[in-house]
Structure 1
């Protein structure tokens, strides 16, 4: 009993150390402590993102089933933006973590600024395309003409204002690579906390603010995340964080840009490939009507609520790999990944049991339409079957990325999400006529095969030799 109390006291103490970001050395000492101190703020950071996703779809669901479908179709396209942002984030985390591990903070700042420049360039291109072609994008995704006319404003705002999303992801990755996970956590709390407050105001109206409907959700998101980015920039240029930018960093360095882009290209590729597979999957699901799209969208948002905290643990593994390789401690980097993978698997195993048994209750919180509820509950249950293997694959993929080996996950994603998942989804859903269930089953199968391949390749250890 005494040992248990001591253990709880120590956990309580480390929890608040993690929130404050007081510990910055992760290349020595207890690996379990390092994982805990990095994971706590990252899990809480991603947990807030998950709460945002749930709250957003909750308020949009009060507008109409069509509004939910609009959000689902737009989110599928937004996955491309998330992919670019996450790809750049991987590169930023890998390079910044390596430079911090080498005790070269000035070069870490150089890498951070070059990554921000690349993000701005991509964002401008996406904004132009999104604003001009919002209606065509929704039609391409299978939206009905009525849905397009009522929802294209949401799509236009989300795509046009993508810079705040891009930078929020990227700058948080810079902080995480430096081991300053608490700063990343606070910036996302500010961004998504503000979005949650503004969501009902702009969707339903309040005082002089008119009811914008589904467009209001996009307005709230853009404002909230822009404020979060402003807070991030204050930290970067304030000179009080582990990583900081000065006038010396604000220069174009082509060699650093090329290095970051080489790594980011693999990161973008793997997530663009994975996102494109979700686009194709959504296109197949759209064959079964707006109710199927709405049900899948609700289930996906519920799943995101737990995947994002899980992703936080994976990000902790990536940061530990980068810093420990920089400190020339590859064995410590490998142990960090395996232990984080075990923790992540245990977490998602518990979550999968809860979601499987109470799927109708969870989905019913967001809709009272029977047909939408049935589709949503089925989607939640089927995807949960692949949760446990997904947990392993997620952490190990991030282990590769933290080492700067973003090309191996690209190959994995091409094989398992394009060559297996999409053809299998079409075969089961359309050819064998299993419909919605068939399309979803392909996801669980692909997750399991992907995780097995990641484990095998990670054990070979070639990622330890990557130079960044």
Structure 2
């Protein structure tokens, strides 16, 4: 791996930051489109990996990989939380035209992110038997998930580093190369999954091994793009890391707490579904794969508006910050409505594709019919949280995400399961999102008005 190319900082005002001029809707669409291309490619290969496992016609394998994915989702959600301060601080500094400070934030942030993610992976592996027992895994499903995670979890630190480097690219407005870096993961997975799962007969462990190799490639490609095309990377220094850690963790801790709400609630939901057997767990696993593929644009949108808002906040253009939020809502309405229609139309062929047994097929088709309203209000929370995290209100993001994932989900899912079985549990996970989604988006507009009145940009 080549050493980072260290360039002399450009004089202030030499370059206009990309997002402080031009159509905000265009910036939102380009950033969301490139982000969605990379994310959905990842989600599709994840979807195909489970599809390959389902073709082995062993519900325990499908259920085991599904449980393992819930745990991996937890660690990746922490990584996403650690990634947020990097994008926020780098984009804000670039908006204020302080390239040297942006470079230091990028380097220290990526280093801190890698260290924390590595510690998290060790802690999860140490607690793995307890975690899987808590999720109600049957004996064979437990073994499949346990082996899968012991193969894939040790490279979580590499995944975190790659995500951090890719996010620096996005903060600089280089959405295209960030997308290419993400697509490299998809390319490796598409090539190696069939070879390891079927060709070498490794089954679920082959899919886990592919994850490790794809993460190495992700780091390499992200690093090469950032070091060759941007003056935003240098060798990490311990004194800089220590000095920057306070501001980094001031955003990262609330952001991590925000992001782990989803995997925690997801684990609770999987535990509820486990009461109805392996077929219900398999349905949950398939839904967990279908959802990000179908609604990946919402995940991309939440990541896309952050750099655009951050640069305009750094430039103190509050009207443009507000317009970015409005543009995001417009995009979301059109996108969710379109995806909902497609899911309703393909629900039958989708379950046939997975060779789904009767209960699994029924639950997946039921989800496709009712997914639109659920994800519209979840999308409101996503967009609002992106605003909170990048405009200096990360605790509000924590409040709304945990509120939705606990008060807005757990009691509804539990009561729904008691009344109507697994179908009722599925409806319950979205019922509480209505109130929290509406409250979050109104609060997001309020924070922008408050920043405009204060007219202060604390870096």
Query: TM over 0.5: same fold?
Result: yes
Closer, same or farther: CA 197–135 of 1 in aligned 2, 3 Å: farther
Query: 2:235, 2:109 → 1: CA distance?
Result: 16
1:14-413 alignment runs, 5 A limit:
25-63=18-56, 64-205=58-199, 210-238=200-228, 240-241=229-230, 243-247=231-235, 252-413=240-401
Question: Residues 175 and 181 of structure 1 are in contact (CA less than 8 Å); yes or no, is this contact kept in structure 2?
Answer: yes
Tell me the distance in 2 between the aligned counterparts of 1:134 and 1:270: 22
Q: Distance in 1 between matches of 2:263 and 2:95?
A: 32
Asked if the contact 1:99–1:108 (Cα under 8 Å) also holds between the matched residues in 2, the reply is: yes
Query: How has the CA–CA distance of structure 1 residues 385 and 352 changed in structure 2, closer, same or farther, with 3 Å as cutoff?
Result: same
Q: Cα deviations across residues 96-146 of structure 1 (Å, max 9, x unaligned)?
A: 110110111221121112222222222322332344454443233211112
Contact 1:109 1:249 survives alignment (8 Å): no
Q: Indicate the SS of the match to 2:21.
A: coil
Give 2:4's aligned residue: none
Displacement after TM superposition at 1:261 (Å): 0.8
Secondary structure in 2 matching 1:185: helix
Task: Give the match for residue 9 of structure 1.
Answer: none
Gaps of 5+ in 1: 1-22
- Deviation for aligned residue 1:154: 0.6
Distance of 1:344 and 1:296 partners within structure 2: 25
Structure 2 spans left out of the alignment, 5+ residues: 1-15
CA RMSD of aligned residues (A): 2.1
Q: Give the superposition deviation at 1:193.
A: 1.2
Aligned length: 438
Deviation of 1:389 after TM superposition, in Å, equals 2.4
Q: Which residue of 2 aligns with 1:12?
A: none
The alignment partner of 2:240 has SS state of: coil
2:114, 2:158 within 8 Å by CA — same for their partners in 1? no
Indicate conservation of the 8 Å contact 1:53/1:305, yes or no.
Answer: no
Q: What corresponds to 2:458 in structure 1?
A: 467
Q: How does the TM-score come out when normalised to structure 1?
A: 0.88
Deviates more, 1:250-259 or 1:229-238: 250-259
Which stretch has the larger CA shift, 186-195 or 51-60? 51-60
Structure 1 residue 66, shift from structure 2 partner: 1.3
Single out whichever of 359-368 and 328-337 deviates more from structure 2.
359-368
1:456 paired with 2:447, answer no
Instruction: Give the Å deviation of 1:455.
Output: 1.9
Moved more, 51-60 or 362-371: 362-371
Q: Write out the 4+ residue segments of structure 1 that deviate beyond 6 Å after TM superposition.
A: none
Alpha-carbon spacing, 1:33–1:413, altered in 2? closer, same or farther (3 Å): closer
**Deviation digits for residues 278-331 of structure 1 (CA, Å, limit 9, x no counterpart):** 111111111111101101211221111022222212222111110100011111
TM-score (norm 2): 0.90
CA distance in 1, matches of 2:290, 2:446: 35
